[in-house]
Chain A
Amino acid sequence: MSEIKYLKTPLTDSEIKSLKSGDIVYLSGTIYTGRDAAHKRLVEAIANKTELPFDLQGSAIYYVGPTPPKPDQPIGSCGPTSSYRMDPYSEALMQKGLKMMIGKGPRSSEFKEQIKKYGAVYLSAIGGTGAKIQEAVKKSEVIAYPDLGAEAVHKLEVENFYAIVTYDSEGNDLFEKGIATYRKTKN
């Protein structure tokens, strides 16, 4: 039975474990943005043992490259990007304590095994709803890699950011379950 849960960062291990595939989460607090280019740099920094721009322990990363804010806005349109492109980098970040990843779309079977191993979760935001998601972002600040433009790491303060628990820390997969329920044909 899916539930509605209100969570605040930083996330504890027991909060992460309590999230079940199909739950709706309204997340508040601090989350960090990162997509392809930022992930590459974060993983290089870990490999080179240089300091990371933020503490990954118990953190949440949102896969997004926002549009530039208009003068009266903290951020522009800011919906999720496809998560599978971050699969090659995610394990290194989970080893450093990353607990929640928010994006859209299915990911590799290796990734699903890794989130079980590290006790992390993967949530879906709704792709193509960047104008609506903008309303949940109260503050945004670039904290690393400003040369990457939209791909820079932003620290976001969010309130009631809507997301759907998609892969939980026990390996349950909402894509698989949802599609199996509504599939009428085998191709």
Chain B
Amino acid sequence: MRKLDLNLVTQAVKKMLIEACEKIPVNVIERLREAKEKEANPLGKSILDQIIENGLLAMTRHVPICQDTGMVVCFLEIGSQVVFDGDIYEAINRGVREAYIDGYLRKSVVRHPLDRVNTKDNTPAIIHTKIIPGETVKITVAPKGAGSENMSLVKMLIPADGIEGIKKLVLDTIFNAGGKPCPPIIVGIGLGGNLEKSAFLAKEAVLREIDDEATDPIARQLEQELLQEINDLGVGPMGLGGTVTALAVKVNTYPCHIASLPVAINIQCHASRHKSVVL
């Protein structure tokens, strides 16, 4: 058994959140530069230039990339041989509170979906927990903005809909979203499981590294075909027309019922904010 000091968790969460909000990942910047070369619309090229310049400015001046510094999603992978000296959920929320107050991040969480009173410290986080073998704890944080999250959805298709049905749903969703989720976007797709499992898979997919390809050959082929088909929609940077609508498509799958074909689509903006640490 290993005892883990929860102050380490709080400090790690705080540091990762501030960094994720100010530092656009290097591989995302590279992908944006490639996108700029590919973009056929001169206005789209200029927009991509400004997005890249913004990423570099945010990094050097320690300003958030985007004013929507999100609601925090946190994935915990807890080794079964680890014990905590207190409540790990409270330790994470303390890290969120300190990051958003000390890091000058925007507080974007309301305590109830209908009375809509701001909690003023961006808590609580949405925390998913998984038990893994071993003595370590992996923490992933993603401050997820609402512009892209609001364009996401879950739909229960039937087996007869197949790949064509999945593609139609994805293409319709992205075309109808237009400029709202701040294209160029990253698209996470969860296939299989059930209602909530597909949504969870889509979130895991959208947080994969931008250069990562699915190991499952069916998923990998779908990722490649959908990326091309999404870019053929013409939505373009900020929805003003162009040849680059998505930077990447990620597909994660899970077994499902003989009668079901659950599909979840989670959209991420170009800032792709996420960070992980193993304690």
Query: Which A residues contact B (CB, under 8 angstroms)?
Result: 22, 37, 64-70, 73, 76-79, 81-82, 84, 104-106, 124, 126-132, 134-135, 148-150, 162, 164, 166, 174-175, 177-185, 187
Which secondary structure characterizes the binding site on chain B?
Answer: loop
Given the interface contacts A66-B106, A105-B180, A128-B271, does A134 sit within 8 Å of B168 by beta carbon? no
**Chain B residue at minimum C-beta to C-beta distance from A166:** B240
Whether a CB of chain A sits under 8 angstroms from the CB of B74 is no
**Cβ–Cβ contact A131 & B41, under 8 A:** no
How many B residues touch A, CB cutoff 8 Å?
52
Q: Which of B215-244 contact A (CB under 8 A)?
A: 229, 232-236, 238-243
Residues A187 and B172 in contact, CB atoms below 8 Å apart? yes
B41 touches A181 (CB 8 A): yes
Residues of the B chain whose Cβ atoms lie less than 8 Å from the Cβ of A82 = 147, 150, 180
B residues apposed to A, CB below 8 Å: 40-41, 43, 47, 50-51, 53-54, 57-58, 61-69, 104-108, 116, 118, 120, 147, 150, 168, 171-172, 175, 178-180, 182, 229, 232-236, 238-243, 269-271
Contacts A81-B147, A127-B147 hold; do A179 and B239 have CB atoms under 8 A apart? yes
- Known contacts A105-B179, A128-B66, A131-B58: A181-B106 contact under CB 8 Å: no
Interface contact A128-B269, CB-CB below 8 Å: yes
A-B CB contact pairs (8 Å), 7 listed: A105-B239, A124-B240, A126-B238, A127-B182, A129-B51, A131-B54, A131-B64
Cβ B69 vs Cβ A185 within 8 A: no
**Are B234 and A184 interface neighbours, CB within 8 A?**
yes
Neighbouring B residues of A174 by C-beta, 8 Å: 240-241
- 3 A-B pairs closest in CB distance: A178-B241, A183-B234, A182-B234
Flag if A150 contacts B108 (CB, 8 Å): yes
- Cβ B64 vs Cβ A150 within 8 A: no
A76 touches B104 (CB 8 A): yes
| CB proximity of A129 to chain B, nearest CB, Å | 4
- A150 vs B41: C-alpha distance when bound (angstroms): 34
Residues of B within 8 A of A79 (CB): 66-68
Contacts of A126 in B (CB 8 A): 47, 50-51, 54, 238
| Interfacial chain A residues near B67, Cβ < 8 Å | 64-67, 76-79, 81, 130, 150
Is the Cβ of A187 less than 8 Å from the Cβ of B168?
A: yes
Q: Which residues of B contact A69 (CB under 8 A)?
A: 104
A181 vs B178: C-alpha distance in the bound complex, in angstroms? 14
Check B239 against A77 for contact (C-beta < 8 Å). Answer: no
Of the residues A127, A130, A179, contact of B235 by C-beta under 8 Å: A179
User: Given A70-B104, A149-B107, A149-B120, A182–B64 Cβ distance below 8 Å?
Assistant: no
- The interface centre, meaning the residue of A148, A162, A183 with most chain B CB atoms within 10 A of its CB, is A183
